């Protein structure tokens, strides 16, 4: 039985190698720091893009004034070549996302895209001097305001209270 001793050593060595590998993996896992899963997104300064959009857009571009300091602006863009599309996104203090978007694009297409497929409800709300229509969706909810030449959509994962807070803070000045 000379051949069986060699096979036993091979199996034993393979099991020992696997054990050492698992032990090393466990030690590495224990000592590698893990984040809490929420990335710390940098605050963006959107003043330059806002000034550019206000000069170039075919409609009065809005931005919030007076939001809590804990609402962090994290994304901004203006695409003059794409129906004067304006976007400004914020992360709220409770980790939700609220954005304001405006465009001169066809309202149905723009609302569908900006609200991530939310559906129009028959509920309207007077916020400031504008009447907004509620949209409810699986991923985003939204408030929509339409005026000549432009559609404004406030949407995101935030509550309708947070969406109202953003809509109330919007100003074109």
55-109 pLDDT, tens digit each: 999 999 999 999 999 999 999 999 999 999 999 999 999 999 999 999 999 999 9
pLDDT given at position 11: 80
Bridge-based pairing of strands 119-127 and 170-171 is unpaired
Cα angle for residues 54, 59, 60 (degrees, 5° grid): 55
DSSP-assigned letter for residue 172: -
Cα–Cα distance, 87 to 110 (Å, whole number): 12
pLDDT given at position 9: 73
- Mean pLDDT over each residue of the chain, to the nearest integer: 90
pLDDT given at position 18: 82
Whether residue 34 has pLDDT greater than 80: no
Is residue 155 within 8 Å of 99, Cβ to Cβ? yes
Confidence (pTM): 0.78
Is residue 137 within 8 Å of 117, Cβ to Cβ? yes
pLDDT given at position 39: 63
pLDDT given at position 79: 96
Cα–Cα distance, 9 to 31 (Å, whole number): 33
Under the banding of pLDDT at 50, 70 and 90, the label for residue 20 is confident
Is residue 40 within 8 Å of 72, Cβ to Cβ? no
Half-sphere exposure (CA, 13 Å, Cβ side) for 12?
A: 6
| Residue 160 DSSP SS3 | helix
Of 47, 46, 57, 59, give the one whose Cα is nearest residue 145: 59
Whether residue 119 has pLDDT greater than 80: yes
- Residue ranges with strand state E in 85-149: 85-91, 97-103, 119-127, 130-136, 141-147
Please give the backbone phi and psi of residue 41, each rounded to the nearest 5 degrees, phi first. Answer: -75, 135
pLDDT given at position 3: 54
pLDDT given at position 23: 82
> Which helix (H) or strand (E) covers residue 47, if one does?
helix 47-56
pLDDT given at position 15: 81
pLDDT given at position 6: 64
Query: Taking the CB of residue 173, how many other CB atoms lie within 10 A of it?
Result: 7
Which of the residue ranges 37-46, 84-93, 142-151, 160-169 would you say has the lowest mean pLDDT?
37-46
């Amino acid at each position: 039985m000379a051949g069986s001793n060699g096979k036993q050593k091979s199996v034993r060595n393979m099991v020992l190698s696997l054990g050492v590998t698992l032990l090393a993996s466990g030690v590495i896992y224990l000592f590698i720091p893990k984040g809490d899963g929420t990335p710390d997104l940098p605050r963006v300064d959107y003043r330059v893009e806002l000034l550019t959009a206000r000069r170039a857009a075919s409609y009065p571009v809005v931005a919030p004034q007076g939001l809590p300091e804990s609402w962090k602006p994290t994304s901004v863009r203006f695409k003059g070549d794409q129906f004067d599309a304006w976007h400004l996104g914020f992360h709220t203090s409770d980790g939700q996302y609220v954005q304001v978007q405006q465009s001169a694009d066809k309202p149905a297409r723009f609302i569908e895209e900006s609200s991530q497929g939310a559906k129009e409800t028959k509920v309207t709300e007077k916020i400031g001097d504008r009447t907004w229509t509620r949209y409810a969706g699986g991923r985003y909810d939204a408030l929509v305001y339409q005026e000549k030449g432009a559609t404004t959509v406030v949407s995101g994962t935030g509550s309708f209270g947070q969406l109202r807070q953003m809509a109330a803070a919007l100003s074109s000045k």
